[in-house]
Amino acid sequence: MAKRIHILNGPNLNMLGTREPETYGSMTLKQIADACGEHARRLGIDLEFHQTNSEGKLVDLIQAARGTADGVILNPGAYSHTSIAIRDAISAAAVPVVEVHLTNVFARESFRHHSHISPVAVGVICGFGATGYILALNALAARP
């Protein structure tokens, strides 16, 4: 049976490709979704891909992964630095989560150096642009 992975994206990621391309790159979220879909097919993974600007909707998507997904790749965007609700949803969902950030958050403003998500994630990938999603897919595919 194929593994099922959910890729969840938080606020402002719908603006990729036009939002500060010198920081976030020129790929759109659709291009990232397409690349992830292609890579997931090669790995034999069933993939769901979502984006929302709403913290509550992101909580709902994380909760929906409980019992239906073998893992979640989460780019919480700025919510990683502010949302205890998302952190608690990850703990409650009891599904392995890989936190992904396009940029190296530790090379940016100091308020980005703390994540509420990292302590409840199985891993964190940051600073590799869109390739971070592919790395996260590989990591979750390799988990037993």
Q: Do the beta carbons of residue 48 and residue 7 sit within 8 Å?
A: yes
Query: Which of the following is catalytic: 6, 79, 101, 133?
Result: 101
Clarify whether 24 is annotated catalytic. yes
74, β-bridge pairs: 8, 99
Which entry of 24, 79, 116, 133 is annotated as an active-site residue? 24
Contact 120, 91 (CB under 8 A): yes
Is there a catalytic annotation at residue 101?
yes
φ, ψ of residue 18 in degrees (nearest 5): -120, -20
Q: Is the Cβ–Cβ distance between 86 and 58 less than 8 Å?
A: yes
User: Any idea which residues carry the catalytic annotation?
Assistant: 24, 101
